[in-house]
Amino acid sequence: MKLTLHVWRQTGPRSSGGFETYEVEDVSPSMSFLDMLDLVNERITSDGGEPIAFEHDCREGICGSCGMMVNGIAHGPEKLITACQLHMRSFEDGDEIWVEPWRASSFPVMKDLVVDRSAFDRIIEAGGYISVRTGSAPDANAIPVPKSDADRAFDAAACIGCGACVAACPNASAMLFTAAKVAHLSYVPQGQAERLERAAGMATVHDAEGFGNCTNHGACQEVCPKGISVDYIARLNRDVLKATMAGLTVED
């Protein structure tokens, strides 16, 4: 395959950036998208240029670090996958491909396709824990949990914090991420002690980090590589409302 690649290049968070164009030949349809970028970087480096900076780790759709916009879509045109799971067989010979970083003020571009997602860490720090002493691993059935609740908790816990929801949302909202991190604890008995405080605290930090509000566009769940539903946002909003009515604040 021969492709024309337009990649956003930016030397640092305080510099202006722009697209640079690369003609890429000998691309195998079986390559992953990141393998293709590796190929491009090899050729850039051999020509004495600066390779394209992009994040990656597991390359198995688990870590969430490979997030990027491909032709204006978070993680690319295929559903329920990350950028590292996107394969070049999803494109045609001669295609033009535009690659850029997440676009959100809360995700400042560090270099090229790399953004700073530490705002997610601070949201989790605001309440992503439980105070119940867990001790050693209990028997699986020691605390009865309805299967429906266990399934919902597991589905929410599948969030990998990639940031695709923020990139796809016209408001740059991280409510789907925040709701998933709140929900996977609120569905299990151990998470009930701080349930309302957790929801209020994490939602407060979400807003303080500059993420926008959810206005029910639904774009976030469409690009989520784990298929997390906006139903969790409704659950978060209910818990935040209960916390507000109970007079709970972050300091409490």
Do 127 and 45 fall within a single domain? no
Question: What's the number of domains the chain is made of?
Answer: 2
Give residue-wise pLDDT tens across range 10-41.
999 999 999 999 999 999 999 999 999 999 99
What pLDDT score does 130 carry? 80
Instruction: Measure the CA–CA gap between 127 and 202, rounded to whole angstroms.
Output: 6
- For the segment 56-76, the average pLDDT, to the nearest whole number, is 96
Write down which residue in 47, 81, 111 finishes a domain.
111
Write down which residue in 86, 111, 136 finishes a domain.
111
What pLDDT score does 22 carry? 98
Do 129 and 238 fall within a single domain? yes
In a domain, residue 251? The reply is: no
Per-residue pLDDT band for 252 (boundaries 50, 70, 90) equals very low
Per-residue pLDDT band for 250 (boundaries 50, 70, 90) equals low
- Contact (CB, 8 A) for 108 and 17: no
Hey, what amino acid is at 62? Answer: I
SS3 75: coil
Instruction: Measure the CA–CA gap between 215 and 171, rounded to whole angstroms.
Output: 8
What pLDDT score does 138 carry? 66
Any idea what the CATH number is for the domain that residue 51 is in? 3.10.20.30
Do 123 and 239 fall within a single domain? yes
Give residue-wise pLDDT tens across range 121-173.
999 999 877 887 766 766 666 778 899 999 999 999 999 999 999 999 999 99
What pLDDT score does 143 carry? 77
Per-residue pLDDT band for 116 (boundaries 50, 70, 90) equals very high
Asked whether the predicted pLDDT for residue 75 surpasses 60, the reply is yes
Which segments within the chain are labelled E, that is strand? 3-9, 18-24, 69-70, 73-74, 96-100, 109-111, 114-115
Average pLDDT along the chain: 94
What pLDDT score does 128 carry? 74
**30 Cβ contact list (under 8 Å, min separation 6):** 87, 88, 89
Give residue-wise pLDDT tens across range 213-240.
999 999 999 999 999 999 999 999 999 9
- For the segment 183-193, the average pLDDT, to the nearest whole number, is 91
What pLDDT score does 141 carry? 66
CA angle 124, 184, 82 (to 5 degrees): 75
Any idea what the CATH number is for the domain that residue 169 is in? 1.10.1060.10
Task: Tell me the HSE value of 131 on the side-chain side, using a 13 A CA sphere.
Answer: 7
Asked whether the predicted pLDDT for residue 90 surpasses 60, the reply is yes
Measured between alpha carbons, how far is residue 14 from residues 108, 111, 129, 223, 243 in Å? 9, 10, 35, 29, 39
Write down which residue in 111, 139, 164 finishes a domain.
111
Do 92 and 52 fall within a single domain? yes
What pLDDT score does 41 carry? 98
Instruction: Measure the CA–CA gap between 92 and 78, rounded to whole angstroms.
Output: 14
Per-residue pLDDT band for 190 (boundaries 50, 70, 90) equals confident
- For the segment 168-186, the average pLDDT, to the nearest whole number, is 97
What pLDDT score does 140 carry? 61
Own/partner pairs, 142-150, CB within 8 angstroms, 24+ separation: 143/189, 143/190, 145/187, 145/188, 145/189, 149/187, 149/188, 150/187, 150/188
**Domain span including residue 65:** 3-111
